[in-house]
Amino acid sequence: MTTEVPAQSSTERYLAVQQSAEFGRLRTTLRRFVFPATAGFFLWYLVYVLLSAYARGFMGVKVIGNINVALILGLLQFASTFLIAWFYSRYAAQKVDPLADEIQAELEREGVK
């Protein structure tokens, strides 16, 4: 189909792309968000479960009427989930997707199999 014959085999090309500075930037940009966010929400969830198990007095403190710390922390878990999801989608669209598109377009131009 393509008129241009790739100078390298596909295997070598994938290795070259993987080693390239551009791809390194894509990987770092993605991981800079995804890994800390995962660690963050997982720890925050663990803290919440541990508080439910071991800090019952604190969890039972009433804040507004019958609404106690336990319920507020639980609702904050919902809020943090929604927020992280929203931040991620914005971050990915602005920072990650353009880098991925660039590399993908380049591979498509070369017709790597």
Partner 1 sequence: MQTHLLAATATTSTSRTVTITLFLIFVAITLAITIWASRQTKTATDFYAGGRQFSGWQNGMAIGGDYMSAASFLGIAGLIALYGYDGFLYSIGFLVAWLVALLLVAEFLRNSGRYTMADVLAFRMRQRPVRTAASISTIVVSIFYLIAQMVGAGALVSLLLGISGDSKFLGLTAGAAKVWTIILVGALMITYVVVGGMKGTTYVQITKAFMLMIGAFVMTVLVLAHYKFNLSSLLGDAAKQSGKGSAFLEPGLRYGVVKPTAIETFYSKMDLLSLGIALVLGTAGLPHVLTRFYTVPSARVARKSVLWAIGIIGVFYLFTLALGFGAAALVGGKAITAQDKAGNTAAPQLAQELGRRYLGGETGGSVLLAIIAAVAFATILAVVAGLTLASSSSVAHDFYANVIKRGQASERDEVGVARIAALVIGAVAIALSIFAQSLNVAFLVALAFAVAASANLPAILYSLFWRRFNTSGAMWSIYGGLTISVVLVFFSPVVSGSATAMFPHQDWHWFPLSNPGIISIPVGFLCGWLGTVLSKENDPAKFAELEVRELTGYGAH
Positive or negative, the CA dihedral 85, 91, 94, 96 is negative
Helix, strand, or coil here: 63?
strand
Query: Segment 5-34, which members bind partner 1 (CB under 8 A)?
Result: 10-11, 14-15, 17-18, 23, 26-27, 30, 34
99 contacts 29 by C-beta, under 8 angstroms: yes
Contact residues for partner 1 (CB under 8 A)? 10-11, 14-15, 17-18, 23, 26-27, 30, 34, 37-38, 41-42, 45-46, 48-50, 52-54, 56, 59-60, 62, 64-68, 70-71, 74, 77-78, 81-82, 84-86, 88-89, 92, 97, 100, 103-104, 107-108, 112
